[in-house]
Amino acid sequence: MFLSAAGCDEACSDRVVFAVGGAPSELEAWEELAADFTRETGIRVEILRRPADTDQQRQSLILALNAGLSHPDVFLMDVVWVSLFAESGWLEPLDGFDPGPFFQSVIETVDLHEGKLVALPVYMDGGVLYYRRDLLDRFGLRPPETWAELLKSSLRVQNVLREKNPDFYGFVWQGAQYEGLITNFLEFAGSEGGFLLRDGRILLDLPANRRALEYMRDLIRKYRVSPPSTYTEMREEQARLYFQQGDALYERNWPYAWSLHQSPGSPVRGKTGIRALPSPAGEEAVSTLGGWHIGVSRFSNVKPQAMAFVRYVTSSQGQKKMVLRLGWNPGRQDLYFDPEILAALPYLAELKDVFRQARPRPMVPYYPQISNIAQRQINSALAGHIDAGEALIRAEREIAALLIRYGKPARTEPGE
């Protein structure tokens, strides 16, 4: 550590350090992309491998940037951190970049800070519904349009299938005490007309949110269409594996699960369908916006080179490589019309609309803290410790105390 930091001023003056975490296959793809970039420009890129765990990635970036270190120069941010990083003054404005080809709604809500572009989306995410096409056909059912339909068909199918497979459940989703729980909650709540932030105020205790949380709890505890382990174990991978083993009719997950469900050896290969999440009759589905954004550190000593790298990563060519290699959902909208990409990943045509309408989580710098509070209380309601209304009241009270601590008045919209 000391050696590399001390010897860096001369030795790596032209080297861009890029912090990125993820699965080994993703890191490999980044290494290759960086190598391509070096071949074209002569600028060397050092990939700083971070843990796959999102919270640990955030922590390591916060520590480096809070100390004003010149490395990493470029990093990926989960969509919910961009506000924290921008408000802290850690992001160098991406002057001269054209955000035109990207999802406009995403650029406006996430990547613009005080009118300046500070980040760009490289990877898009939004909640989708996977279903077992073979089972729906067998029961003469259609994929559910509404949450009520989802419940009804889940009950019908699981009652029959459980005779042979006692582990079969209608619907798996993410209910453990972690960030994924909030993304799921906001989708249930959003389709009831609920929300977490409006007009700069954090609001949780709303009738719509209460109905949504009661519905989530009832899926587990009353109708038993979601496994009892939903609130203790279910994260993305646990839900994906549950569905992939053939033990569930429906699954809420991110688009990454699609290619794994369809991989050779998967028991649900060729039997799976994907569509937007259920919504109230006649209304658009609500999906929580996820994804990763790229930014340049304000403390970087090699800003021009760092900018060149970001330009390469976000270019049509760079994004296309990542899409074809990893089955990624690109941040550039134009690639969703690319014939070569659509031939390889036909489902992207549908996902485009999911992403266009996906709702961001509150874009406030203290989002991680309010999420921690909400996770704990919402999970508590799913566990049956307290009722849904009480959980939301307590969460709102704790969040209010947090905002007072940060000297925030009732209006909490940052930087507007």
Q: Residues in the site for another protein, rule: CB under 8 A?
A: 55-56, 58-59, 62, 65-66, 84, 87-90, 167, 176-178, 227-229, 231-233, 242, 247, 365-366, 368-369, 372-373, 376-377, 379-383, 385-386, 394, 398, 401, 405-407, 414
SS3 content of the chain, % helix, strand, coil (to 5): 50, 15, 35
Nearer to another protein, 260 or 386 (CB): 386
CA distance 376 to 387: 13
User: Closest distance between another protein and the C-beta of residue 156, in Å?
Assistant: 22
Q: Quickly tell me which residue has 């406009």 as its tokens.
A: 104
Please state the closest distance from residue 65 (CB atom) to another protein, in A. Answer: 7
Bin 294: left if φ > 0, else alpha if -120 < ψ < 50, else beta: beta
Task: Supply the angle between the helices 207-221 and 388-405 in degrees, to the nearest 10.
Answer: 130
Is the separation of the CB atoms in 103 and 124 below 8 Å?
A: yes
Nearer to another protein, 115 or 339 (CB): 115
Nearer to another protein, 84 or 326 (CB): 84
Q: Which residue's CB is nearer to another protein, number 122 or number 239?
A: 239
Q: Would you say 61 or 323 has its CB closer to another protein?
A: 61
Question: CA 211 to CA 218: how far, in whole Å?
Answer: 10
Q: Which is nearer to another protein, 89 or 304 (CB)?
A: 89
Q: Which is closer to another protein, CB of 37 or CB of 85?
A: 85
Buried b (16+ CB within 10 A) or exposed e, 35-51: eebbeeeebbbebbebe
Q: How far is the CB of 177 from another protein (least distance, A)?
A: 3
Burial class (CB in 10 A: 0-12, 13-18, 19+), 372: middle
**Closer residue to another protein, CB minimum distance, 348 or 395:** 395
Closest approach, Cβ 31 to another protein, in A, equals 27
The residue among 248, 38, 244 whose CA lies nearest residue 158 is 248
CB of 211 to another protein, least distance (A): 20
DSSP 66-128: HTT-S--SEEEEEGGGHHHHHHTT-B---TT---TTB-HHHIIIIIEETTEE--EEEEEEE-E
Tell me the Cα Rg of the chain. 22
Gap between the Cα atoms of 189 and 286, Å rounded: 9
Look-up of token digits 């992207």:
348
CB 124 to another protein: min, Å = 24
Beta carbon of residue 279, minimum distance to another protein (angstroms, whole number): 29
Cα–Cα distance for residue pair 77/19, rounded to 1 Å: 10
In the bound complex, what is the minimum distance in angstroms from residue 379's beta carbon to another protein? 5
Which C-beta is closer to another protein: that of 94 or that of 220?
A: 220
Minimum distance from residue 286 beta carbon to another protein (Å): 25
- Per-residue DSSP letters for 159-170? HHHTTT-TT-EE
- CB-nearer residue toward another protein: 326 or 381: 381
Question: What is residue 225's three-state secondary structure?
Answer: coil
Tokens standing for residue 122: 């490289």
Q: How far is the CB of 112 from another protein (least distance, A)?
A: 17
Q: Which is nearer to another protein, 222 or 385 (CB)?
A: 385
- Distance of closest approach, residue 86 Cβ to another protein, in angstroms: 8
- Cβ contact 189:127 at 8 Å: no
Task: Check residue 195 and report its DSSP letter.
Answer: -
